[in-house]
Amino acid sequence: EVQLVESGGGLVQPGGSLRLSCAASGFSFSSYWMTWFRQAPGKGLEWVANIKQDGSEKYYVDSVEGRFTISRDNAKNSLFLQMNSLKADDTAMYYCAREVNDFWSGRMFDYWGQGTLVTVSS
């Protein structure tokens, strides 16, 4: 059974840092792109960042470029999101998800974690 379990969220002051983790199990982690999403309270879904299987390619939404860093440890089946210079607008539930690339259907997200809440407030 595929499982994704996020951790590391919490309350942080503006300008502070947090490191989120996502522990993966039940599939060959090193074979998949992995992605972070977020959802502000009462708002919609936003793609944040993703990373290629071997970590050689990383992409970010403009609003976090230069502040957030996505990484992975395939030996430990883990995905990370280092978040620096946090702003109130970064307050959200953060989800990790597995990205599937199908030749005919394109790319989609088939498994999601339960999320970890990040609150940026003084």
Partner 1 sequence: DIQMTQSPSSLSASVGDRVTITCRASQNIINYLNWYQQKPGKTPKLLISAASSLQNGVPSRFSGSGSGTDFTLSISGLQPEDFATYYCQQSYSSPRFTFGPGTRVDIK
Residues interacting with partner 1, by CB under 8 A? 33, 44-47, 50, 57, 59, 61, 95, 102, 104-110, 112-115
Judged by beta carbon, residue 80 or residue 95, the one nearer partner 1 is 95
Minimum distance from residue 121 beta carbon to partner 1 (Å): 22
Residue 29 vs 33, nearer CB to partner 1: 33
CB proximity list for 118: less than 8 A, separation 6 or greater? 9, 10, 12, 18, 20, 38, 83, 86, 90, 91, 92, 93, 94
Nearer to partner 1, 31 or 122 (CB): 31
Strand 10-12 to 116-120 pairing: parallel
